[in-house]
Structure 1
């Protein structure tokens, strides 16, 4: 023998090993089960003993863990057929009348509960604890209640060439994906979304500029539950924009030429009238001068005749 002495006896090592197993969750059922449901639906939070031991006379306690600025919530407590739905007090107000267990499954070790008409505030971490078993067991469930509001579409600006559209989503939870699609379901490039958080919910705005006639969809997607909500708008863009523009230019030039031609015609006509008036005045002047000369020579000629 080398004289090496272990720091713990075999019994102490066994106890230490058991404690480590307990802390690691191997014997306590600490694997987290994630449940994702849509708001206002019913959800079952699972909690069942693997050995299907009869728990009719057992004690199990459901709690919702404390969140920011909140205390731990009492969800459901069962003690040998006495529970919150048959006279026991202490249940948190927000769960009253909405939580029940499966009484006919207790003899199979099933302590699961159902929460009806789920709210966004029901989201959080829950524990189910068996208090009087030989080995205390705790089950952990994460509940996510998804809120997917219907998007609203606005036309911010529209011309014959393009339309600026805006998709607005208010009060979504958790933060969803928002995208624009054409009538064929193809995702369209859009501006960077504007995201703001309000009271634990998300408001999202997504803009896009479109340049052709089509049915456009704004799609809000919650991939956790494979759920989507869609709004549609129809946008008409003239397909003869270039032709229309050319026509407008031609019409513009035609009007300009017409006006210019009329101006020139009027000017020429005015010049002709002025020239005619000038000639007439000149002729009148010459005629008057001619008449004057005849009057002066008349008497002389008469005198010559009488001589």
Structure 2
């Protein structure tokens, strides 16, 4: 029996192509590795109420698995991927004709982003890869083999989660406190944003959410701190067990206010002293002026008295 072989293509930096051939004995194991590589940012797969739950980060690629248990070839067969109970056409393969080689009918949001694994069709593998996932890709997917004697159907619940990075700034400060702001663009509805101190304790804060797109929000979170230390803004997506954070150092000196108060007191005392000196100078001038005027008045009176008496009689 001639062993089967699997041909894999590894694309590096979008230009160089490397090819290798492996014996069929390693085919199954290698395909599993290949799937993991393609979905490198897949964060978890777990059974869900209607099938398998797959969780990935936004902008990553994800592989949705679907294979016949009999491993029979589906090269000349049919398999159909749909989303949201058949409302959206994701990928349809019919004996070599599919959405990527001219078949019409694919939902607009999936065009150019979904492909299958042609070399795996002979092993009954109808898995697909969705590239550059968005939050709107989240939902329930079904993979159907409609022309089998006993039709088979598989279900996958896909969760695409945003993982935005926060930006922190100090928007106001005094000697006694500082007002910190955390900005998170591209957050999802379920994103949790918190301010924490150096010990990890959550701080009271005021949050504002503003819609940016249908699936994204701009979150602003403000908090006031009164102690010197490092503070972190943490963004959490619990469904993907992922966190991003940004840190800022705050120094509360307590000296600016004291210096300002001292300046005010000195200024007031200096102003008072200067004012008192001015008043004193004015009073001295007034006194001197009055003395001069009085003396002039006395001298004038004496002159007039002498003139009125006239020359003495002999």
Q: TM-score, normalised by structure 2?
A: 0.68
Quick one: structure 1 residues 92 and 246, their matched pair in 2 at CA, closer, same or farther if it must change by over 3 Å? Answer: closer
| Worse overlay, 164-173 or 117-126 | 164-173
Quick one: structure 1 residues 127 and 116, their matched pair in 2 at CA, closer, same or farther if it must change by over 3 Å? Answer: same
Report the Cα distance in structure 2 between the residues aligned to 1:280 and 1:237, rounded to whole angstroms.
Answer: 68
Q: Secondary structure at the match of 2:285?
A: helix
Quick one: structure 1 residues 292 and 89, their matched pair in 2 at CA, closer, same or farther if it must change by over 3 Å? Answer: closer
Check the 8 A contact 1:146/1:174 in 2, yes or no.
no
| Worse overlay, 196-205 or 35-44 | 196-205
Q: Secondary structure at the match of 2:72?
A: coil
Check the 8 A contact 1:175/1:202 in 2, yes or no.
no
- Identify the match of residue 195 of structure 1 among 194, 200, 209: 209
Return the offset for 1:223: 2.4
Check the 8 A contact 2:175/2:257 in 1, yes or no.
no
Check the 8 A contact 2:82/2:142 in 1, yes or no.
yes
Quick one: structure 1 residues 112 and 170, their matched pair in 2 at CA, closer, same or farther if it must change by over 3 Å? Answer: same
For residues 61-102 of structure 1, the C-alpha deviation after alignment (integer angstroms, 9 at most, x for no partner) is 211126xxxx72222223455544455443334323322233
Q: Secondary structure at the match of 1:142?
A: strand
Q: Secondary structure at the match of 1:168?
A: strand
Q: Secondary structure at the match of 2:261?
A: helix
Question: When the two structures are aligned, how many residues end up with a matched partner?
Answer: 265
Report the Cα distance in structure 1 between the residues aligned to 2:277 and 2:49, rounded to whole angstroms.
Answer: 95
Report the Cα distance in structure 1 between the residues aligned to 2:57 and 2:252, rounded to whole angstroms.
Answer: 38
1:274 alignment partner in structure 2: 289
Structure label with greater radius of gyration: 1
Quick one: structure 1 residues 291 and 111, their matched pair in 2 at CA, closer, same or farther if it must change by over 3 Å? Answer: same
1:239 alignment partner in structure 2: 254
2:54 alignment partner in structure 1: 35
Return the offset for 1:161: 4.5
Higher-helix-fraction structure: 1
For residues 233-259 of structure 1, the C-alpha deviation after alignment (integer angstroms, 9 at most, x for no partner) is 565654303421331232133223213
Check the 8 A contact 1:44/1:113 in 2, yes or no.
yes
Q: TM-score, normalised by structure 1?
A: 0.70
Structure 2 spans left out of the alignment, 5+ residues? 1-47
1:227 alignment partner in structure 2: 242
1:130 and 2:145 aligned: yes
- Identify the match of residue 72 of structure 2 among 34, 48, 54: 54
Quick one: structure 1 residues 86 and 199, their matched pair in 2 at CA, closer, same or farther if it must change by over 3 Å? Answer: closer
| Correspondence 1:255-274 to 2 at 5 A | 255-274=270-289
Check the 8 A contact 2:136/2:215 in 1, yes or no.
no
Report the Cα distance in structure 2 between the residues aligned to 1:61 and 1:290, rounded to whole angstroms.
Answer: 137
Q: Secondary structure at the match of 2:312?
A: helix
Tell me: higher relative CO, structure 1 or 2? Use CA pairs within 8 A at least 6 residues apart. 1
Structure 1 spans left out of the alignment, 5+ residues? 1-28
Q: Secondary structure at the match of 1:299?
A: coil
For residues 156-180 of structure 1, the C-alpha deviation after alignment (integer angstroms, 9 at most, x for no partner) is 5444544434333343234311122
RMSD over aligned CA atoms reads 3.4
